[in-house]
Amino acid sequence: MKNYADIIVDISHSKLDKVFQYRVPDELTNEITVGTVVNIPFGKGNKNINGYVVGFTDKPNFDIDKIKDIISIDAINVSIEAHLIKLAVWMKERYACTIISALRTLIPISKKVNDKTQKEIVRNVNVRELESYIKIWDDKNFKALSRAGKYLINNERCRQNTIIRKANITTSVLTNLEKKGIITVNLEHIYREPYKVDEFKRTINKMPNEEQQKAIDVISDNLDNDSHVFLVHGITGSGKTEVYMQIIKKVIEKGQQAIVLIPEIALTPQTVRNFISRFGNKVGVMHSKLSTGEKYDGWRRARDGDISIMIGPRSAVFTPFRNLGIIIIDEEHEMSYKSEISPKYHAREVAIKRGEMTGATVVLGSATPSLETYYLARKGKYTLLELKHKAAATKKLNVEIVDMREELSNGNKSIFSDTLRNEIQNKLFKKEQIILFLNRRGYSRFVSCRQCGYVVKCKNCDIPYTYHAYDDKLICHYCGSAINMVDKCPSCNSKYIKQFGIGTEKVETYVKKEFPCSRVLRMDLDTTSKKNSYDSILGKFRNGDADILIGTQMVAKGHDFPNVTLVGVLAADLSLYMSDFRASERTFQLLTQVTGRAGRSILEGTAIIQSYTPDHYSITTSKDQDYKSFYEAEIKYRQVMNYPPFSNLLVLLIQSTNEKELIKRSFELKNDICLVSPRLGLEVIGPSPANISKIKNNYRRVILLRGNKYEELMQFINRYMIRLSNKYNDISIHIDINPLMSY
Ligand code: ADP
Ligand code: ZN
Ligand code: ZN
């Protein structure tokens, strides 16, 4: 019975983070469901606010006289499956957020958008009658009338806009025809569609190869069983998309729906195109660039069963399908699957949880799976399916690793090795295109020796020290320990030991100096800050308006440039020695991805990787895209150093405008935490300066908590965080559990 409704009020406040009971008036009983947004009186002044209905009871939980009535159903009226409410409750616990912020993430619609309408013209008379009318018309604009009449002879129904355009008439002609009783004008409610589906050429299933067929069969066989997670580990070009599409076809045939998550729409337009071409108007697309109306309609179409597939970034994991059969996460290792704003959820974790709740199958796909995922697949928690071969014939890709230490000892101090310089010249001569890649990601200021490749690292954490110029010190951003800057290499005594770093702008200058006749484009945060600049740079390059494209990881994503036959990685070490325990993993992923850019052509491609530590496993294994060897080496390091997946990390980011106070308070906070941490089995590391130790006048420090179990960290948050935040309310404290980037 729906006598009383459990309601979450739409106000962000930790004290209001609980369920409130309201009486459901009789006249609303039939309309209110879980997820409905209602207007309720709240607080002493009975202010009219919004609330989300999350459940019903037939008996009141406290004094009947104190329970107020729901006023009305809000105009937005979103009603969703009960399991999505349960998912919000789970998010609150898992990510230590308030239930209202989980609900707002899950139901992203905060105000009603008016339906879009269009006028439809319907002919009321038969063709013969219309023909005879046309003959006898003598209105002053009879020419326009007969043009419209002729159009209507061939089209019994059409859109108003179409007839206006095709018959070259004005709306007054239609009004005239309506008056004469020849047509009726209807108002049609339509959905806003961001893509013109009709304009896509339709495709049909490709004949799967043996590996693809096996993956399709194994996953399809599970669709009727309980939820299960599959990892499709397939090399670049192995045809993972085809596998996803054939499985989804079966899901739809069973009357169920599919969610396909991709890292970022702008970076993967090909995937969207593939799906629309295969499934036409069954596909909905979600992304941040859509208008509010388009988002609202996409969301409603999914809820009302008007589409069966939703493609989108991480937030599409909440698509309100009512009979969800499968969730696919392509490029599951990508960092964009973790939200950087609260609730800091990971879409992979949410997808697996939603699968458990609904019985939906979950498929993770990648050429370079995250260590966490592959580890669980190895342990048998996920089922591993491998695609080891290219699906379509391509030319061979030659990958060469160049030792930059040798270049130096041969007297070459340029950023280009002789090999790369020659190859660039060669390609320029042949009028083929070149990508020069600077794999900077995040922030790196490590110190290394150009002579022998030695990198100065913290002994406790095995993480490179970060150079701090203002006091000429090397600081570990994990534990906070510091040493004086070195002036000689501790390993070979050379004086060529210094901070490592180069930017895309510098590279552009060098390129223009060494290859004055080449046409160069640069793509980085500076050149892509304007809307559409990203597409315009890539468009120019694809058109052949430039010979060389210089860029950061932005150029590494899934673009096809058929004329690119050379990729040069200028300094693989840039991502390898950033102060993050995932540095090797990121480097392997980036190198695999970017060298793949040269292997998409009918022409033979070459990739050249320059490095001062060419023997590092993440570089040697990327030469043959040998994920397994990379994994074996990396997982040992994680185990020895007790980094994830063997442990879980909680970051406390502490900020203040007063640096002295911040340092003092962060040490006090650490001491307070240390009073309780042993009881919970937690290790406390820091405080240390954050990677970016000052943003907008805010100084930033980090305390790291490490627990073997996730629950240990949650216990800490639930039992102590509120108290600590109150005691330290003079500094701001942000928490992030298992962040994908070091702070
Ligand atoms: P991945 O996503 O695994 O990197 P793609 O899905 O981009 O690979 O596939 C690479 C290419 O192979 C695409 O052009 C795709 O159309 C083609 N392809 C996929 N499967 C087949 C198949 N069974 N037969 C022929 N071509 C295929
Ligand atoms: Zn050295
Ligand atoms: Zn350290």
pLDDT digits (tens, 9 = 90+) for 4-37: 999 998 888 877 888 899 999 999 888 888 888 8
What is the pLDDT at residue 558? 55
Question: Which residues are documented as binding site for Zn(2+)?
Answer: 449, 452, 458, 461, 476, 479, 489, 492
Instruction: Name the residue of 206, 267, 385, 595 to mutate for ligand 1: max ligand atoms within 8 A of Cβ.
Output: 206
Residues 224 and 366 in one domain: yes
19 located within any domain: yes
What is the pLDDT at residue 267? 64
- Give the end of a domain, one of 610, 638, 666: 638
Residues 277 and 357 in one domain: yes
Cis peptide bond prior to 739, omega within 30° of 0: no
Which CA distances in Å does 392 have to 109, 275, 640?
42, 18, 41
Residues 357 and 214 in one domain: yes
- The tally of domains found in the chain comes to 6
Among protein residues, the one whose CA lies closest to atom 6 of ligand 1 = 239
Length of the chain: 743
State the CATH number of the domain containing residue 482.
2.20.28
643 located within any domain: no
164 located within any domain: yes
50 located within any domain: yes
Instruction: Find the ligand nearest to 599 CA.
Output: 1
Q: Where in the sequence is the domain holding 343, given as residue range(s)?
A: 197-387
Q: What are phi and psi of 426, to 5 degrees?
A: -55, -45
What is the pLDDT at residue 339? 94
State the CATH number of the domain containing residue 587.
3.40.50.300
pLDDT digits (tens, 9 = 90+) for 636-666: 999 999 999 999 999 999 999 999 999 999 9
Residues 491 and 509 in one domain: no
501 pLDDT above the threshold of 80: no
Which residue would you say has higher pLDDT here, 129 or 82?
A: 129
What is the spatial distance between Cα 328 and Cα 248, in angstroms, rounded to a whole number? 9
742 located within any domain: no
Residues 255 and 350 in one domain: yes
**Which range is least confidently modeled, 158-162, 288-292, 541-545?**
288-292
pLDDT digits (tens, 9 = 90+) for 689-705: 888 788 878 899 999 99
392 located within any domain: no
- Give the end of a domain, one of 106, 139, 158: 106
What is the pLDDT at residue 143? 86
Q: What is the DSSP string of 678-709?
A: HHHT-EEEEEEEEEEEEETTEEEEEEEEEESS
Residues 8 and 66 in one domain: yes
Residues 148 and 258 in one domain: no
Q: How far is the CA of 448 from the centre of ligand 2 (A)?
A: 8
What is the pLDDT at residue 244? 98
Residues 489 and 515 in one domain: no
What is the pLDDT at residue 16? 81
Asked whether the ipTM of the predicted complex exceeds the cut of 0.90, the reply is yes
Question: Which residues are documented as binding site?
Answer: 449, 452, 458, 461, 476, 479, 489, 492
Sign of the CA dihedral with 598 first, then 599, 604, and 606 last: positive
Q: What is the DSSP string of 308-364?
A: SEEEESGGGGG---SSEEEEEEETTT-GGGB-SSSS--BHHHHHHHHHHHHT-EEEE
374 located within any domain: yes
Residues 432 and 463 in one domain: no
493 located within any domain: yes
Instruction: Find the ligand nearest to 480 CA.
Output: 3
738 pLDDT above the threshold of 90: yes
What is the pLDDT at residue 216? 98
Strand 229-234 and strand 361-366: the pairing is parallel
Among protein residues, the one whose CA lies closest to atom 16 of ligand 1 = 239
Instruction: Name the residue of 204, 232, 238 to mutate for ligand 1: max ligand atoms within 8 A of Cβ.
Output: 238
Number of H helices, E strands in the chain: 23, 31
Residues 169 and 266 in one domain: no
Go through 318-332 and write b for each residue having 16 or more CB atoms within 10 A of its CB, e for each that does not. bbbbeebbbbbbbbb
Residues 124 and 228 in one domain: no
Instruction: Name the residue of 241, 267, 397, 560 to mutate for ligand 1: max ligand atoms within 8 A of Cβ.
Output: 241
Q: Which residue type does 578 have?
A: M
What is the spatial distance between Cα 717 and Cα 724, in angstroms, rounded to a whole number? 10
**Which range is least confidently modeled, 439-448, 518-527, 572-581?**
439-448
Residues 541 and 574 in one domain: yes
What is the pLDDT at residue 230? 98
Go through 497-536 and write b for each residue having 16 or more CB atoms within 10 A of its CB, e for each that does not. beebeeebeebbebbeeebeebebbbbbeebbeeeeebee
pLDDT digits (tens, 9 = 90+) for 313-346: 999 999 999 999 999 999 999 999 999 898 999 9
Out of 216-220, 338-342, 720-724, the most confident range is: 216-220
